[in-house]
């Protein structure tokens, strides 16, 4: 870096201008911000007066000089390592850092409090007292958000591909292996998870996939095959059709089939069961009416087949935004965009998509209908975690949290071995979930799960077959998730036809995935460590990396990451135990936060002491996954509350789930701001449901409907030559 | 200082929504009411508007080894100096504001050479050298803003010309890409407004570029600030989308007529449900719902289009799977794309040969290492040689694309004569990520609007100027696109 100091003032000015300018761009709402929206105005937002410091003027006198003295030499606008700039115009400027980076002060706090910053090569170090001054200012003036928990903005969640496939399967009673989304375009991910509302976009391509999938799924569900002779009803001499198929979508009307007087009335029975399940809430009579038009359409085009008609209605229902989107609307909207407690039905959906990645089951619907779900969350969650559908937590949460869903992208490894590795970690996680183990097992469990293939890799004997068995591990060799082969392989690199370890990748993986710390990217123009994958190494991997670390520009971050990786040098590129690397004895010693270790056992002991850090990181990941959005600064009070409760309840996985579900952002949503005047009627109509039918499926006595409709709406089939269906159940 | 970017952003928003876009179409054509599009009259009118031009954009991931791609000519620099001339000393400095509002920033006259020596990487294209322009000196300066994340920025700044928001979380912010501006303006003349294809979806797990959401590293085409135009990678699905209706026998379900009737009704129903929802949503929150409405409109328009006269050539068969090798996959997607534009199913398409930071291995040419890893060669000769080999392999595929375009006759001319096919990347040199002198190869004659067969080296011009010039040639004249400062001169002599 050239001429840093002379440029500093100029650069700082420019950068601040840019930051402020671009923030204005981002924050500028397209219309007036919803009233009561705390996200619209944050301390230090452009134009808003900075709130007075709670510590009253201490910033300029105490904190700012310390930041300048100890931090800003490197963390200035020109260098900004890790995108952290700790040079401030004034207190408001400092507080506004979170506008661009919600976790800004969180990150600074972690570095400061763990004494990882300033780095070892720094010229000056703050005293403990000075550190405390900085941390106190952060805690009281920058880190603490509005102080009020906030559910975040109103969100529209499109079902992602796996949620879509699972929901279709459950809604239409299709076989477990029916994956209608297998060739959908891949979902994007946000914050590491593919259920992030912001990245679940819609495109014509996707709608085309949906249309085709809807046809495919309903055909499969109803056993329809249009290529064969039309399964249209056989007309008896009396003029009434008979039925020759049985399936669960037609069950509700089945018992009435002896009476053929009102064909559409019978289909209506099917639809009255299907629609609330598809929309995951009670539906209005009008909504049923609209769907019933598809029964008429089917009658007109495909003959008077009950199955065809039910199928077409189902097809329409699963194209509806009410099916494809999860969006929680305020049941009592006042147009202000206020925060409301979500309804029991909304809660049932949140819960089932969190724990199962699919629609609520009959028991959840029943609890929602009776209004007892919120009161029985503990038992419901415990029940749900025992259900086979909870496998989605393993496949989707674990798979993305630890990145092992991408294990098969690994090169230079036998795919069968990779599958076996993945199986170990999945069984391990599944065991923790189903047995309500402590989440601290991830740090130092003395057990794991192996099949024959994994046993061979780990040097265990007496285990045969593909099934996994729980085994005690040799504590001198293994313990905790980061000693599992899946993770160790994922974090190694190709070398010729085999794989070498990468202490840096391993260290980074542990810090990011286990302790939820972000590691800044390497500064630009620093060559990455040059290990030719086609050449033999000279010396151990550690020796080569130690040389790399000698470079002072790299030493700071690597001093933090690498010890975690060096500690794992006893595991080769596939996770097998080794005493030697390249014929030289492995050196797995190191120092983390001032604590030295020589063996994996000692290393594990140090990690196991960091329960608070792990708990915090794990909960953040879980909350982000549960809500389908990134963590925001106003989540801090909620996160703190969850953490405290989980700790008090012994860190069990159930306590994590229960407290996440009971947390403020999970239980609340933000209402909608009213649209332009003139739409009051529709707003009210949307908000008021007229339940006609509530799952679990149980045909009512008689086909009467209890709701009242809004009168005929726009006929979606107008111009199609279709006669609107007369109301059923006279 | 703070006001200026605001005004600028508002202007860009306007473009994104179609306002301020002047469409240079013959009056007659522009006045055809939407309802008539697709009618026999409209078809007859459209036929008189000739010749139609097409734009195909091929995106090559990671970037090139520049010295091996551009010819070595004394006095014509291809590698960025340590500090780019004119670039501010601080990479975070306000490039946006630094650029003048109009005219061109070029201070040195472009270097033009029709006799330039073909560099090693371009040898596979020797037979086509009279059919493409090799363009140098085009930069993507906005990709230099902020720290790190060069791959994400290279891709998402490329066709959008905007400063993408550095975020790994919810608040994605990019801009509309050039191909989508064209699609919005003239897309209603074809069955598909645009096509988005690719050879892979991108990373499924873990992070992509530090600090940037994967969505930035996976998508070159953006419908608006927050929504990419997602790509299809499965040739079978592409075929069914494009030509399914021409091949009834391929469809296993109900008859096409019945399917269409049903789908129309379903879309009607869905739209009604959506409009009821939008009415109840605040304006800031309806984006996702709007996306659905837009998608429905596009699908309906396609259903309304006449059952086009597409007759697939007899040798065209429906692909059944995703091929295993890069080459086979590329060729299949290229064939489909060429088929689509020759049948006028669409006139603009993007085709990503890989996502940014592509970790593809090219075993078929003896390269088992991951492409991205190799490009960070740190001067290692063996790695550089491999990067060069992959670059040349890419050129070879491009040559295949051009071969196929030339085979198709359109009257006296070929399909390539009436098209513009671009091969490019936003990284510049793959090892340096300097977004400087970015790989740009523009083939075709654009219906007589391009004069290929030359090497033009501009003096540090923003890439968006090229986009402006290409949009002109598609009949879509806009005042600006992203960070453009003017039109690119000399493309036609």
Chain A contact present for B277, CB below 8 A: yes
One-character DSSP codes across A435-484: TT-BTTHHHH-SEEEE-HHHHHHHT--S--SSS-EEEE--TTT--SGGGS
**Does position A697 have pLDDT exceeding 60, yes or no?**
no
To test the contact with chain A by mutation, choose from B225, B269, B359 the residue with the greatest count of A C-beta atoms within 10 A, namely B269
Cβ-contact B294, A207 below 8 angstroms: no
Mutate to test the interface with A, among B10, B80, B90, B264 (most CBs of A within 10 A): B90
Interface contact B215-A199, CB threshold 8 A: yes
> Is A403 in Cβ contact with B269 (below 8 Å)?
no
Q: Tell me which residue of A205, A453, A155, A552 sits closest to A326, measured CA to CA.
A: A155
- Model confidence band, residue A147 (pLDDT cutoffs 50, 70, 90): low
B-interface mutation test, from A7, A204, A207, A527, most B Cβ less than 10 A away: A204
DSSP A28-79: --SSPPPTT-TTTS-TT-TTSPPPPPTTSSHIIIIIHHHHHHHTTTTSSTTT
Residues of B in contact with A203 (CB under 8 A): 223, 227, 229-230, 291, 295
Question: Residue A220: closest CA among chain B residues belongs to which residue?
Answer: B253
Mind telling me how many Å the CA of A205 is from chain B's nearest CA? 8
What is the rounded average pLDDT for all residues in chain A? 77
Can you tell me the distance from the alpha carbon of A580 to that of B133, in angstroms, rounded to the nearest whole number? 56
Residue B343 half-sphere exposure, CB side, CA atoms within 13 Å?
21
Convert the pLDDT of each residue in A36-60 to its tens digit.
333 322 222 232 333 444 444 578 8
pLDDT for residue A159 is more than 70: yes
B84 interfaces chain A, CB cutoff of 8 Å: no
Question: Which of A321, A333, A679 minimises the CB distance to B273?
Answer: A321
Two structure tokens written together for B288: 């996702």
Tell me whether B255 touches chain A (CB under 8 Å).
yes
The predicted complex's ipTM stands at 0.74
pLDDT above 80 (res A574): yes
Is B188 part of the contact surface with chain A (CB cutoff 8 Å)?
A: no
Q: How close are the terminal C-alpha atoms of chain A, in Å?
A: 84
DSSP SS3 for A157: strand
Q: Looking at residues A21-41, what average pLDDT do you find?
A: 34
pLDDT value for B450: 96
Q: Which residues, 6+ apart, have CB-to-CB distance to A509 below 8 Å?
A: A403, A482, A487, A490, A491
Write down the pLDDT at residue A363.
96
Q: What angle do CA A593, A599, A604 make, to 5 degrees?
A: 60
Q: What is the pLDDT of residue A254?
A: 58
- Lowest-pLDDT range of A156-165, A324-333, A641-650: A324-333
Q: Which residue bears the tokens 């780019």? A: B84
- pLDDT for A679 equals 43
Give whole-number Cα distances, A443 to A400, A484, A614, in Å.
18, 11, 8
Interchain contact, A532 vs B382, CB within 8 Å: yes
Name the phi and psi angles at A235, rounded to 5.
Answer: -90, 125
Token reading at A630: 């990134």
Closest-CA residue of chain B to A624? B169
pLDDT, residue B175, reads 94
> Residue A468's pLDDT is what?
96
In the predicted model, what is the mean pLDDT of residues A158-162? 95
- Give the list of residues 6+ apart from residue B246 with CB closer than 8 angstroms, or none: B308, B310, B311, B312
How high is the pLDDT of residue A715?
A: 33
Q: Indicate yes or no: CB of B227 within 8 angstroms of CB of A2.
A: no
- What pLDDT shows up at residue B17? 36
CA dist., res. B447 & res. A138, Å (int):
63
Burial A306-332 (b: 16+ CB within 10 A, else e): bbbbbbbbbbbbbbbbbbbbbbbbbee
Tokens of A651: 């860190």
Whole-number Å distance between alpha carbons of A662 and A144: 22
Of A21, A29, A202, the CB nearest to B284: A29
**Per residue in B331-343, pLDDT tens?**
999 999 999 998 8
**Pairing state of beta strands A498-501 and B367-370?**
unpaired
DSSP secondary structure, A495-554, as one string: ETTEEEE-HHHHHHHIIIIIS-PPPPPPPTTPPPP---TTS--SS-HHHHHHHHHTSHHH
Q: What percent of chain A has pLDDT over 70?
A: 74
For A387, phi then psi, to 5°, come to -75, 145
Tokens of A551: 């470079």
Residue pair A521/A580 in contact (Cβ under 8 Å)? The answer is no
| Nearest-angstrom CA–CA distance, A573 and A577 | 10
pLDDT at B373: 85
Average pLDDT over residues A426-448: 95
The minimum CA-CA distance between B316 and chain A, rounded to whole Å, is: 22
Is the CB of residue A192 less than 8 Å from the CB of residue A624? yes
How confident is the model at residue B59, as a pLDDT? 98
Instruction: Convert chain B into a string of H (helix), E (strand) and C (coil).
Output: CCHHHHHHHHHHHHHHCCCCCEECCCHHHHCCCHHHCCCHHHHHHHHHCCCCCEEEEEECCCCECHHHHCCCECCECCCCCCCCCCCCCCCCCCHHHHCCCCCCCCCCCCEEECCCCCCHHHHHHHHHHHHEEEEEEEECHHHHCCCCCHHHHHHHCCCCCCCCCCCCCCCCCCCCCHHHHHHHHHHHHCCCCCEEEECCCCCCCCCCCCCCCHHHHHCCCECCCCCECCCECCHHHHHHHHHHHHCHHHCCCCCHHHHHHHHHHHHHHHHHHHHHHHHHCCHHHCHHHHHHHHHHHHHHHHHHCCCCCCCCCCCCCCCCCCCCCHHHHHHHHHHHHHHHHHCCCCCEEEEECCCCCCCCEEHHHCEEEEHHHHHCCCCCHHHHHHHHHHHHHHHHHHHHHHHHHHHCEECCEECCCCEEEEEECCCCECCCCCCCCCCEEEECCCCCCCCCCCEEEEEEEEHHHHHHHHHHHCCEECCCCCCCCCCCCCCCC
Question: Is B92's CB within 8 Å of A80's CB?
Answer: yes
Q: How far apart are CA B227 and CA B289, in angstroms?
A: 12
Cβ(B140)–Cβ(B152) below 8 Å: no
How far lies B84's CA from each of A318, A524, B91, B104, in Å?
55, 15, 10, 18
Average pLDDT of A677-687?
39
What mean pLDDT do residues A115-127 have?
A: 80
Say if residue A179 is exposed, middle or buried (CB neighbours under 10 Å; 0-12, 13-18, 19+).
middle
Report, as an integer, the average pLDDT of A398-422.
88
Q: How confident is the model at residue A452 (pLDDT cuts 50, 70, 90)?
A: very high
Chain A / chain B CB contacts < 8 angstroms: 302
pLDDT (0 to 100) of residue B209: 81
Task: Please give, rounded to a whole number of angstroms, the shortest distance from the CA of A449 to a CA of chain B.
Answer: 23
**pLDDT tens digits along A225-259:** 544 444 444 333 443 334 444 467 776 665 444 44
User: Which stretches of chain B score pLDDT less than 70?
Assistant: 1-51, 79-107, 203-207, 245-254, 280-287, 306-311
B381 touches chain A (CB under 8 A): no
| A263-267, A501-505, B76-80: range with lowest mean pLDDT | B76-80
The predicted pLDDT at position A441 comes to 95
Give the pLDDT of residue A619.
96
Give percent above pLDDT 90 in chain A.
Answer: 36
User: How far is residue B432's CA from residue B26's CA, in Å, rounded to a whole number?
Assistant: 45
What is the least distance, in Å, from the CA of A129 to any CA of chain B? Answer: 33
**pLDDT over 70 at A31, yes or no:** no
Q: What pLDDT is attached to residue A27? A: 32
Nearest CB partner across the interface for A406, out of B149, B170, B206: B206
What residue of A is the nearest CA neighbor of B249?
Answer: A227
Contact flag B149-A83 (C-beta cutoff 8 Å): no
Work out the minimum CA distance from B491 to partner chain A, whole angstroms: 34
Which residues in chain A have their CB less than 8 angstroms from residue B231's CB? Answer: 185
Please give the average per-residue pLDDT across A397-420, as a whole number: 87
Backbone angles phi and psi of B202, in degrees to 5: 110, 180
């Amino acid at each position: 870096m050239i001429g840093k100091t002379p440029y500093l003032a100029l650069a700082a000015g420019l950068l601040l201008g840019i930051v402020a300018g671009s923030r204005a761009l981002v924050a500028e709402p397209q219309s007036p911000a919803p009233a009561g929206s705390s996200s619209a105005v944050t301390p230090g937002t452009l134009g808003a007066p900075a709130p007075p410091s709670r510590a009253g003027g201490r910033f300029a006198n105490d904190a700012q000089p310390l930041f300048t003295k100890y931090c800003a030499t490197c963390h200035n606008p020109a260098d900004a390592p890790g995108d952290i700039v700790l040079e401030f115009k004034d207190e408001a400027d400092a507080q506004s850092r979170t506008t661009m980076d919600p976790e800004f002060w969180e990150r600074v706090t972690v570095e400061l409090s763990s004494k990882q910053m300033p780095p070892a090569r720094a010229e000056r170090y703050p005293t403990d007292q000075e550190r405390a001054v900085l941390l106190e200012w952060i805690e009281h003036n920058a880190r603490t958000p509005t102080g009020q928990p906030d559910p975040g903005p109103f969100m529209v969640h499109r079902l992602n591909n796996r949620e879509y496939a699972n929901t279709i399967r459950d809604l239409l009673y299709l076989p477990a292996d029916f994956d209608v989304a297998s060739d959908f375009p891949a979902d994007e991910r946000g914050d590491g998870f593919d259920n992030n509302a912001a990245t679940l976009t819609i495109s014509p391509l996707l709608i085309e996939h949906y249309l085709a999938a809807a046809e495919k799924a309903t055909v499969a569900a109803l056993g329809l095959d249009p290529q064969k002779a039309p399964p249209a009803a056989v007309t008896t001499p009396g003029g009434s059709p008979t039925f020759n198929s049985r399936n669960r979508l037609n069950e509700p009307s089945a018992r009435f089939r002896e009476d053929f007087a009102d064909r559409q009335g019978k289909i209506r029975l099917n639809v009255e069961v299907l629609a609330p399940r598809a929309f995951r809430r009670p539906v209005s009579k009008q909504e049923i009416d609209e769907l019933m038009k598809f029964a008429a359409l089917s009658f007109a085009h495909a003959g008077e087949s009950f199955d065809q008609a039910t199928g077409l209605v189902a097809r329409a229902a699963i194209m509806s935004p009410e099916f494809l989107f999860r969006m929680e609307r305020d049941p009592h909207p006042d147009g202000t965009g206020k925060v409301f407690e979500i309804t029991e039905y909304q809660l049932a959906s949140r819960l089932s998509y969190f724990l199962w990645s699919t629609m609520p089951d009959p028991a959840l619907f029943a609890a929602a209908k009776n209004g007892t779900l919120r009161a029985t969350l503990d038992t419901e969650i415990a029940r749900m975690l025992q259900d086979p559908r909870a496998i989605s937590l393993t496949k989707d949460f674990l798979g993305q949290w630890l990145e092992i869903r991408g294990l098969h992208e690994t090169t230079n490894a036998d795919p069968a071995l990779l599958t076996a590795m993945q199986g170990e970690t999945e069984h391990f996680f599944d065991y923790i979930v189903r047995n309500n183990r402590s989440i601290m097992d991830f740090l130092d469990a003395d057990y794991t799960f192996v099949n024959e293939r994994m046993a061979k890799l780990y040097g265990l004997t007496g285990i045969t077959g593909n099934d996994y068995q729980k085994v005690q591990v040799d504590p001198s060799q293994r313990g905790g998730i980061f000693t599992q082969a899946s993770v160790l392989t994922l974090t190694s690199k190709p070398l010729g036809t085999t794989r070498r370890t990468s202490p840096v990748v391993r260290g980074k993986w542990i810090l990011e995935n286990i302790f939820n710390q972000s590691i800044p990217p390497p500064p630009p123009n620093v060559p990455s460590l040059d290990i030719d994958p086609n050449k033999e190494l000279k010396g151990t991997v550690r020796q080569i990396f130690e040389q790399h670390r000698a470079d002072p520009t790299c030493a700071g971050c690597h001093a933090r990451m690498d010890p975690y990786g060096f500690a794992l040098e006893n595991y080769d590129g596939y996770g097998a135990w080794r005493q030697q690397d390249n014929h030289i004895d492995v050196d797995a010693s190191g120092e983390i936060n001032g604590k030295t270790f020589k063996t994996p056992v000692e290393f594990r002991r140090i990690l196991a002491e960091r329960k608070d850090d792990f708990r915090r990181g794990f909960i953040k990941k879980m909350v982000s996954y549960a809500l389908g959005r990134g963590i925001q600064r106003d989540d801090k009070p909620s996160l703190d509350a969850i953490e405290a409760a989980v700790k008090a309840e012994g860190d069990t996985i159930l306590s994590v789930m229960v407290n996440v579900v009971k947390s403020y952002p999970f239980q609340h949503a933000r209402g909608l701001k009213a649209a332009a005047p003139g739409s009051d009627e529709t707003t009210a109509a949307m908000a008021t449901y007229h339940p006609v039918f509530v799952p679990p499926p149980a045909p009512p006595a008689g086909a009467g409907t209890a709701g009242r409709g809004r009168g005929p709406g726009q006929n979606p089939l107008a111009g199609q030559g279709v006669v609107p269906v007369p109301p059923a159940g006279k | 200082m703070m006001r200026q970017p605001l005004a600028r952003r508002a202007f860009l928003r306007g473009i994104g929504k179609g306002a301020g876009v002047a469409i240079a179409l013959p009056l007659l054509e522009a006045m055809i009411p939407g309802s008539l599009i697709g009618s026999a009259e409209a078809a007859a009118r459209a036929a008189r508007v000739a010749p139609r031009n097409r734009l195909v954009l091929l995106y090559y991931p990671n970037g090139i080894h520049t010295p091996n791609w551009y010819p070595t000519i004394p006095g014509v620099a291809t590698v960025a100096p340590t500090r780019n001339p004119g670039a501010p000393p601080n990479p975070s400095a306000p490039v946006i504001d630094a650029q003048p509002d109009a005219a061109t920033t070029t201070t040195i006259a472009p270097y033009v050479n029709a006799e330039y020596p073909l560099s090693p990487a371009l040898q596979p294209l020797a037979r086509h050298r009279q059919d493409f322009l090799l363009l140098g000196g085009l930069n993507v300066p906005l990709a230099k803003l902020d720290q790190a994340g060069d791959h994400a920025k290279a891709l998402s700044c490329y066709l959008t010309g905007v400063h993408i928001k550095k975020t790994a979380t919810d608040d994605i912010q990019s801009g509309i890409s050039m191909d989508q501006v064209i699609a919005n303006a003239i897309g209603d003349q074809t069955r598909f407004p645009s096509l988005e294809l690719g050879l892979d979806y991108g990373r499924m797990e873990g992070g992509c570029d530090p600090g940037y959401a994967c969505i930035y590293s996976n998508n070159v085409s953006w419908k608006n600030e927050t929504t990419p135009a997602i790509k299809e990678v499965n040739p079978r699905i592409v075929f069914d989308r494009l030509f399914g209706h021409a091949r009834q026998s391929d469809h296993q379900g109900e008859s096409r007529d019945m399917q269409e009737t049903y789908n129309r009704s379903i879309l009607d129903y869905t739209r009604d449900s959506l409009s009821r929802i939008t009415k109840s949503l605040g304006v800031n929150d309806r984006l996702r719902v709007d996306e659905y409405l837009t998608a429905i409109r596009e699908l309906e328009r396609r259903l309304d289009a006449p059952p086009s006269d597409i007759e697939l050539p007899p040798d065209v068969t429906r692909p059944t799977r995703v091929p295993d090798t890069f080459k086979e996959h590329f060729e299949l997607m290229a064939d489909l794309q060429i088929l689509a534009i020759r049948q006028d199913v669409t006139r603009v398409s993007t085709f990503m040969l890989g996502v940014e930071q592509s970790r593809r291995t090219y075993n078929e040419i003896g390269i088992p290492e991951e492409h991205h890893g190799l490009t960070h060669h740190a001067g290692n000769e063996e790695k550089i040689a491999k990067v060069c080999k992959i670059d040349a392999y890419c050129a070879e595929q491009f040559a295949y694309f051009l071969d196929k375009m030339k085979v198709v006759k359109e009257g006296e001319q070929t399909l390539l004569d009436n098209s513009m096919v671009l091969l490019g990347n936003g990284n510049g040199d793959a090892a340096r990520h300097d977004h400087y002198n970015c790989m740009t190869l523009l083939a075709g004659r654009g219906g007589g609007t391009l004069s290929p067969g030359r090497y033009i080296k501009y003096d540090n011009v923003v890439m968006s100027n090229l986009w402006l010039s290409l949009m002109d040639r598609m009949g879509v004249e806009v005042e600006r696109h992203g960070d453009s400062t003017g039109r690119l001169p000399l493309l036609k002599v």
